[in-house]
């Protein structure tokens, strides 16, 4: 029995690239920049959200709803001041058609 050809309506594979910005809250400020990055845990600075597919913010390991923060190139602005010492992790995912 011959193999079926691939369906022309099947989408191609999508490749994903992930980047991570990590900072530690000082308990005082609600604005963080690339200079606040913990380089040991970061793979990038704060990327332009218009150039990636998905942006997620985790504060102390908890995913935050997008209405609690603003991301601009090089800047993260939080609606509140996190407790001192908690990690702030911005995850960027870029989907690329293969």
- Tell me: the pLDDT tens digits for 82-98? 999 999 999 999 999 86
pTM of the model: 0.85
- As a whole number of angstroms, the distance between CA 48 and CA 91 comes to 12
Tell me: pLDDT of 6 over 60: no
Are the beta carbons of 57 and 87 closer than 8 angstroms?
no
Return the closest-CA partner of residue 42 out of 77, 92, 86, 76: 92
pLDDT-based confidence at residue 8 (cuts at 50, 70, 90) = low
Average pLDDT on 65-88 reads: 98
């Amino acid at each position: 029995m011959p193999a079926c050809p691939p369906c022309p309506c099947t989408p191609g594979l999508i490749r994903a690239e992930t980047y991570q910005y990590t900072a530690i809250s000082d308990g005082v400020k609600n604005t963080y920049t690339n200079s606040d990055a913990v380089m040991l845990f970061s793979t990038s600075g704060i990327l332009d959200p218009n150039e990636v597919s998905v942006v997620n913010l985790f504060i102390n390991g908890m995913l935050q709803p997008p209405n609690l923060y603003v991301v601009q190139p090089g800047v993260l602005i939080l609606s509140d001041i996190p407790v001192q010492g908690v990690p702030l992790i911005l995850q960027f995912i870029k989907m690329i058609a293969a």
